[in-house]
Structures are given as C-alpha cells and as structure tokens.
Amino acid sequence: MQSFRTELENPIVEKDIIDLEKKIRAFHEGRIHEEKFRSLRLARGIYGQRQPGVQMVRIKLPFGKVTFNQLLKIADISDKYASSNLHLTTRQDIQIHYVSLDRTPELWSELEQDDITLREACGNTVRNVTASPTAGIDPSEPFDVSPYAQAFFEFFLRNPICQEMGRKIKFSFSSSEADTAFSFIHDLGFIPKVKIENGVEVRGFKVLLGGGLGAQPSLAHVVHELLHEDLIIPYAESVLRVFDRYGERNNRNKARLKFLVNKLGIEEVLKLVEEEQTANKVKTFKINREAIAEPQIPIAIIEEEVPLPKKSAYDLWLATNVFEQKQKDFYGVYIKVKTGDIPTDQARKFVEAVKHLIADEIRITINQGLLLKFVRKEALPSLFLALDELNLAAPGFDSVADVTTCPGTDTCNLGISNSMELSRVLESLIYEEYADFIHNKEIKIKISGCMNSCGQHGLAHIGFHGSSMKVNGKVMPAVQVLLGGGIVGDGVGRAADKVVKVPSKRATHVLRAILDDYHAKASNYPTFHAYYDDLGKDYFYQLLKPIADQSTVKDEEFVDWGHEENFVTAIGVGECAGVVIDLVATLIYESEEKYGWALEAYEQKAWADAIYHAYNTLVSGAKALLLDKGVNQSTQTGVIKAFDEHFAPEFQIDSFSDLVLQINKNEPSQKFAEHYLALANDFLNEVKAFRPSPELVK
C-alpha cells in the first residue's frame, strides 16, 4: 500500500482521509483489531461486499442533490476504482462496487475535490438526510425544505454525539403533506408547516419520532404538530443524545430508536429528550434559507418536433414522467432508472445530451430514479428525444411499472435472493401484460433481497422480500409476499402485512393474481388500500394460497432468478448496522483517543464537543474495566450504573453516575468544559493504572 498526498483545502477532511490511510496500514500490519477497523471504515462509507476482497463505497449526497460535474466525477471514480457502474439507492446515495480497500483514501480525496463525501454514509451514525426530490419546485410545498436538510447534514457530520451510537439514525424531510419522503418510517421525520402570527408567516415542522422498517416495522409517533424552524436541530440533537446514552449496543437487532421507544414508552423518551436540552450545543439554530443556491436555468429556447413514429411514446412519457413546477413555465422531468443502475458511459452521454436543456441540479429520487428541473415547455420534445436515444425515456415513473429494489445477492452479504433480476422480470410483465397500470401512480411494488427492507418492501402496496423454503429435502429460493403498506399522508403511513410465502419463480403468478383481481374490483374502491382493507388479509391469503402449493414444484424452481445453478443460502455477516466492539484493549485505547479529541475540541473553543468527547472517555473507560471483570452491559446507562456497583469503592467515587451525568445538567460553557475534562483525565489515568493499556495502533 503506497501513501498518497491530498490536495484539499479543508484541513479537517484532509486529516480524516490521512487517518483512514494510516488505519488501513495498521490493520494490514495487525496493529488494529478487525472489529475496531470495521467500525472505522463503515463510518467512512466503506462497506464489505458479498464478494471477498472488495468493497462497496457509498457516496453521501444530501437529499440526493448532484450537479453535472459531480455526476461526471463519480463516473470517473467508478471507472478508475470500481466497476464502471453507478447504483442509485433508496436513501438518495450513489454506490459503487468492487473497490480495493487500499485505494479508498485516494478515491475519497478525489471526490472531495468536487465537494462530495463518504463520511458517515454507513455505520452507526446519522446516515444520509433524505428529502422529497421535488423540494424547491413542488407546487404543493409550503416552502423549500432543501436548506433544512442541508443544515442537518452539516450539523451532524463529524458531530461527537453521533459517531458511535448503538445503531444508525435516519432523518427525512418531506416537501408537503403528501409525505413523499416517508416521515413515518424514520427515526425523525419532518413535514413543513406554516402559521400566521400577527400577520407574519412562521415556519415550522410536524415532527415524527421512532419509525423504522427492517424485520419489525414500527410507525413513528407524532411528537410535534408544529415545531418552530429554529428548534428542529436542537430537538434532533437532544434525541440523539438520549439514543446514544440509553440505546441498545449489544444486540443490534434491537438497537434502533424504535426499540428504545417501545422499551421505555414514548412519554418517557420525550421526558429524557427534554432533560437533555440543557446540555445541547445550541438552544436555537437559525437555518440559512439561502444555503441552496438557485440552479442556473437554461437560457436557450430550443424547439424540436417529435417524429410521428415516436409521438405516442412521447405523449405517454409526458403523461407519466413530466409535471409542471411551482415556477411558472417550467417543468420537472423524472427519469425511470431500471434497478437504479447507470453505467458510467451512459452517465457521461446523459450529461452531455441534457446539460443545455435542464438546470444544473439533478435530484436522485427515493425510488432510485432521477429528477431533472427547470425544463422549458419548448424543450420537452428535445429532452425526450435525447433521453430516448439513451434508453432513459421509459414511461411510468413511480407507477406500478417502477419497481424499487435493493442489490440483493448481486453484492450484499445479507441477500438471500436475487431481487434485482426479479424486479426486471416484474417490470417487463407489467409493460407487456398490464399497460394500463403504467398510469397508476398509487400502487408501489418494492423488493428486498432479505427481510431487512433496504428495498422498502415493508411500506409497499405489493412487497416481496427474499427468503427460502425446504421442499422435498432441498432448499429453494422463495419470496415473502406483503400487501397493504404505503403512504396515507401528513405523517400517517401503513406497514405492509405478511400474507404468504411462495417460491421465487412464482412471484410473477402472485403479481398477476393481485392485479387481475384488483382490475376486476377497482371500480368499487377509491384506492388500493380501501380494496385491501375491505376484503381483508385472509382473502388475499386464500387468493394466493394455490400459488404457494409445494406439491406442484418443478425442478427449475430450485434455481433463483438470473441464475443457472441450484439455489444455495449463502448469507454473510451484515454490516449495515456497524459492529459492537466489546474488546477491553480496544476500549482502553479508544478512551485515550477520545480524550485526545476532547482536548483538540477544547483548544478550538468547541466546548460542547469537548464535553461530549470527555463523556465518551468516561463511558469507554468504565466499560473496559467492566468487561475485564466479565460484566457486559448493553447500554451506556447500564455501564454507568454497573460501574457504581462493581468499582466505585475501589476508585473512591461516591457516585460514578453523578460524576458522569453532570453532562446533561450543565450548560456547555468553557468553565464546565474545563471541569469535566479534568474529571475525564483523572478517571482515565486511574483506568490505565488499574489495567495498563496494551500496545495498539496510535
């Protein structure tokens, strides 16, 4: 592994990248434990693939915003370091695959030259902040939520309160009550609201807390009907402080915020959030509403006729992929991207073909497509023809024919079945057999390769997740069918019901049965939800039960979609939630490292950051000694209480809990920072004297 020199103006970013290179070197030399290293690389967007020896790199794009130059840079990076493909995700990121670990620092450095980061795209951190792709041009929006999403991204990036939580945290901002960013499935979801006070418009947000999908979906609780815009970041900070302190850390299947809410109850969680506000870095935070500059709008007016043979395709594209913006005389145009994959050569041709027709601000959509902005009406024919030439003018964006999918067994360690190929098969079926449904934008079909819902099957009207079943003594690929999920509106949503499991090769039969039945009965119901609710879950179980009949299984059904060999369940160790580090030596080293960060923050007069790093020093040191004694606690509060029980007398401390929890009873002032850092330093020295730290990477 050869060192490289960065050419970055931001010293914090440069230090981050150089640190990653050093840690990779130390890992190769055996001077840093694998579990510690995995946690570190995940927080830098570097994720282990199903294929050994290569990595997936997740590129963090706040609310899916990407410019022409950034898209071209990512394409260049994928050609140089990865597999010449860009994968758009349901969290508005771009992922590239088959990257060598040793080249990731250099890759990251090149991306940062165009203001693109990998930092905290994976791991137990605040993940990419998502938002309705139409934010800023949505005719129904009270105001543009893009600056608020950007502010969240900036405030929590590298923030010490959310670097090593028990699990990930996800934020979303919907542009209107249509809730197209799915607030109800997020740890914190925000829906814009306005009210008039003394003749003045006041902005705020409806706030939802504690939602999540995964194997056990939970719908979020409404905790504020209208929280003032200046209070949303302080409120989120308090929530994260509570989650960090009280959240589960050993069993990652129970470690999301939704489980903490279920364990303590929403009222207790809200009480703890209120108590944390004393210690917040800020009590109010004024969002810069001008943070997102208006994109440059095309000046030239280009008129072109669509040839007669393509006229019907153009009309269908206009009807399903184009809408009028709130800005008069401009249009937003969606691009349906099959399985979210764009080869790099196609990406370059795309930018070249459209850059004179659209604004230089593309949004990645939550269903793995693209949104183009500020298209003049006169330019729509030219844009259609340019996209059609690149096979990017497929109609039916966000319709029944637009199937969302995760990568499944293509690259993911946790994938059970090939969700990518299944999505292609189902889309083809709809285009070929159910053309009328291309106009239906209510029903959503979503597929995940496993139960973890990266493809968001848990909120689909018709969902599938990868599974397996044993038939005649052999394992075959299967899909769990889910029905009835989706958006209701203004923060209200529905989690899909598990209805029946069928062989994967019969997913097409399932879809035909449901669409045929709905087509026959749709005139009786205003929505698919009304149709599902009226008939009931058992009706659909009986409808689909014959398709699940194992007595009619054929040999070819033991082969998954897109494969030629018989199905084998080969599930690796998942990394999407990071890892739990319970190694005594690593924890002692981490305590020293965190105290060093506390001193750095203090020198920079970042009192709140210094205090929180000192808090982590105290907790890590206490946990190390408890583990050395065979006492394993799964929360930070558990560690604090257990230390009082097992070590307080030996350390001559009346109450370790009282000492540590001074953090949420004091304002983050310079005076308290000095006091608290001194406590952390004394405690760390006692820990090292009690159990000397072994040689670890520095």
Q: What is the pLDDT of residues 634-660, one digit of tens each?
A: 999 999 999 999 998 888 888 999 999
Three-state secondary structure readout of 142-158: CCCCHHHHHHHHHHHCC
Q: Do domains 11-112 and 308-389 have the same CATH topology?
A: yes
Say what the pLDDT of residue 583 is: 63
DSSP character for 169? B
Q: What is the mean pLDDT of the chain?
A: 92
Give the separation between CA 313 and CA 392, rounded to whole angstroms.
12
Give the separation between CA 107 and CA 140, rounded to whole angstroms.
40
Sign, Cα dihedral of 63, 68, 71, 77:
negative
Say what the pLDDT of residue 575 is: 58
Say what the pLDDT of residue 578 is: 44
In sequence order, the 6+-apart residues with CB closer than 8 A to the CB of 303 are 378, 379, 381, 382
Residue with tokens 């968001």: 456
Does residue 582 register a pLDDT over 50? no
Say what the pLDDT of residue 428 is: 97
Does residue 405 register a pLDDT over 60? yes
Does residue 667 register a pLDDT over 60? yes
Asked whether the beta carbons of 350 and 392 are under 8 A apart, the reply is: yes
Does residue 677 register a pLDDT over 70? yes
Q: What CATH class has 130-279?
A: alpha beta
Residue 82 CA, distance from chain mean position: 22
Q: State the pairing for strand pair 46-48/55-59.
A: antiparallel
Which two structure tokens, joined as six digits, stand for 93?
A: 């990121």
Give the separation between CA 73 and CA 70, rounded to whole angstroms.
5
- Counting residues of the chain whose pLDDT is more than 90, the rounded percentage is 79
Asked whether the beta carbons of 444 and 404 are under 8 A apart, the reply is: yes
- Counting residues of the chain whose pLDDT is more than 70, the rounded percentage is 95
Which two structure tokens, joined as six digits, stand for 190?
A: 């925000």
Question: What is the residue type of 446?
Answer: K
Confidence of residue 333 (pLDDT cuts 50, 70, 90): very high
Does residue 690 register a pLDDT over 50? yes
The CATH number of 404-558, from 3.30.1180.10, 3.30.413.10, 3.40.50.300, 3.30.70.260, is 3.30.413.10
Buried residues in 599-620 as b, exposed as e (16+ CB within 10 A): eebbeeebbbbbbbbbbbbbbb
Say what the pLDDT of residue 696 is: 44
Asked whether the beta carbons of 439 and 425 are under 8 A apart, the reply is: no
Give the separation between CA 122 and CA 165, rounded to whole angstroms.
12
Residues 213-239, mean pLDDT to the nearest whole number: 96
Give the separation between CA 121 and CA 168, rounded to whole angstroms.
10
Does residue 439 register a pLDDT over 80? yes
Give the separation between CA 464 and CA 455, rounded to whole angstroms.
9
Which two structure tokens, joined as six digits, stand for 107?
A: 């890759």
Give the separation between CA 264 and CA 255, rounded to whole angstroms.
13
What is the pTM (predicted TM-score) of this model?
Answer: 0.94
Residues 609-635, mean pLDDT to the nearest whole number: 93
Going from N- to C-terminal start, the domains of the chain cover 11-112, 130-279, 308-389, 404-558, 584-690
Which two structure tokens, joined as six digits, stand for 432?
A: 């070929």
Confidence of residue 697 (pLDDT cuts 50, 70, 90): very low
Confidence of residue 451 (pLDDT cuts 50, 70, 90): confident
DSSP character for 196? E
Q: What CATH class has 584-690?
A: mainly alpha
Asked whether the beta carbons of 557 and 505 are under 8 A apart, the reply is: yes
Lowest mean pLDDT among 33-47, 354-368, 442-456, 514-528: 33-47
CA of 655: how far to CAs of 424, 469, 588, 641, 659, in Å?
61, 54, 21, 9, 6
pLDDT tens column, 139-197: 999 999 999 999 999 999 999 999 999 999 999 999 999 999 999 999 999 999 999 99
Residues 615-623, mean pLDDT to the nearest whole number: 95
Helices and strands, counts by H and E, the chain? 20, 22
pLDDT tens column, 62-79: 999 999 999 999 999 999
Q: Could you tell me which of 499, 511, 504, 495 has the C-alpha nearest to residue 445?
A: 511
Superfamily in which the 308-389 domain is placed by CATH: Sulfite Reductase Hemoprotein;Domain 2 (3.90.480.10)
Residue with tokens 């006169």: 378
The CATH number of 11-112, from 3.90.480.20, 3.40.50.1820, 3.40.50.150, 3.30.70.141, is 3.90.480.20
Say what the pLDDT of residue 581 is: 39
Asked whether the beta carbons of 493 and 219 are under 8 A apart, the reply is: yes
